[in-house]
């Protein structure tokens, strides 16, 4: 069983996907963390960032054995992640790793292209959205950053993610759209849980 949750920055994908995975006993896959790892490797001057070993394990992210769970969340890495994510060779490499992972067991996978490219056969596809202001507010509340600056950075990243040639951010034709503006995490998780019951 695979549940795909895609959407723009700050729509609540990570929090919701993790909660849904916990509720169902499924494994959570944060595909964005993998793009962030490639970006961090590049920012640190790695000769070939695609040869670095990326591991995702119960909430921790390691890059060549080093715990980079916090290091990959800086605004600098966010911006670089959306740049490296536009390159076809990076996408090819990471999509292959992601398909290998979700090939075994039950997963809740979140990102930008899970329902369109990584797993077009996913049993359930949800596209999470929220107003740009709500998305920036949430991320600013998480990090303590200035909401106006977060909004500007997110809009720039969304624009790049949505207009790139390869696997642009877009809902799959058969994805269910869920606008989370004004909804609590529990409400969103509850709605997705209902959708899961319907397809199980
Ligand atoms: O958490 P947030 O939504 O801010 O970002 P993320 O999911 O960690 O993804 C960081 C960046 O990686 C995005 O801006 C995309 O450019 C890229 N990404 C992607 O292209 N495809 C995915 N499946 C996941 C992330």
Give residue-wise pLDDT tens across range 73-112.
999 999 999 999 999 999 999 999 999 999 999 999 999 9
pLDDT tens by residue, 120-159: 999 999 999 999 999 999 889 988 999 999 999 999 999 9
pLDDT of res. 59: 87
Ligand 1 pocket member 39 (CB < 6 A)? no
Closest CA to 112 of 3, 192, 6: 6
Ligand 1 pocket member 154 (CB < 6 A)? no
The whole-angstrom separation of Cα 133 and Cα 147 is 8
Work out the average pLDDT over 25-38: 97
CA 6 to ligand 1: nearest atom: 23
Per-residue confidence band for 58, with pLDDT thresholds at 50, 70 and 90: confident
Closest CA to 21 of 126, 93, 116, 95: 126
CA 10 to ligand 1: nearest atom: 3
144's torsion region: left (phi>0), alpha (psi -120 to 50) or beta? left
CA 118 to ligand 1: nearest atom: 23
Ligand 1 pocket member 6 (CB < 6 A)? no
**Distance from the CA of 85 to the center of ligand 1, in angstroms?**
8
């Amino acid at each position: 069983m695979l549940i795909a949750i895609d959407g723009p920055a700050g729509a609540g994908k990570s929090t919701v996907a993790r909660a849904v995975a916990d509720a169902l006993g499924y494994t959570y896959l944060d595909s964005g963390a993998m793009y962030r790892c490639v970006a961090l490797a590049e920012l640190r001057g790695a000769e070939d960032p695609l040869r670095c070993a990326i591991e995702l394990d119960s909430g921790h992210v390691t890059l060549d054995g080093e715990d980079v769970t916090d290091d990959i969340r800086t605004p600098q890495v966010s911006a670089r992640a959306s740049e490296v994510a536009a390159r076809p060779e990076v996408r090819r490499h990471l999509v292959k790793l992601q398909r290998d992972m979700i090939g075994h067991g039950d997963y809740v996978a979140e990102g930008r292209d899970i329902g369109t490219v990584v797993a077009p056969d996913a049993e359930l596809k949800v596209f999470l959205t929220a107003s740009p202001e709500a998305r920036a507010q949430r991320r600013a509340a998480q990090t303590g950053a200035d909401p106006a600056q977060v909004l500007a950075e997110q809009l720039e990243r969304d624009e790049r993610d949505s207009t790139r040639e390869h696997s642009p951010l877009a809902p799959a034709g058969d994805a269910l759209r869920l606008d989370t503006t004004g909804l609590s995490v529990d409400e969103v998780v509850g709605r997705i849980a209902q959708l899961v019951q319907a397809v199980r």
